[in-house]
Amino acid sequence: MYMKDKLDKFENLVKKELTRARLSHGKQSSIHEGYAILLEEVDEFWEHVRAKSEKRNYKELLGELVQIASSAQKTAEDIVFPKLKKRR
């Protein structure tokens, strides 16, 4: 899912995941939802970090990092930026 014959740039992977998440889940409705999603993704990343290095799946670990980054961007774009625009 996250790698082809060669590694994509991280930002391209995040862009693809963000597009997928938007199509699947639409906009976030609150900052609390954004926090919950980020917390879940960080917990999943932590599970990979805790694994012994010889058993660590780096492809899945990369996937979690991509999901963390895309979730943070989605929260910023869906919740934070609109609130900042209203305060101008």
Per-residue pLDDT of 63-74, as tens digits, reads 999 999 999 999
Model-level pTM?
0.86
State the number of CA atoms in the 13 A half-sphere of 9 facing the CB.
Answer: 3
Average predicted confidence (pLDDT) for the chain: 91
pLDDT greater than 90 at residue 20: yes
pLDDT at 45: 97
59, 2 contact by CB (below 8 A): yes
The pair of three-digit structure tokens given for residue 7, joined into one six-digit string: 């590694």
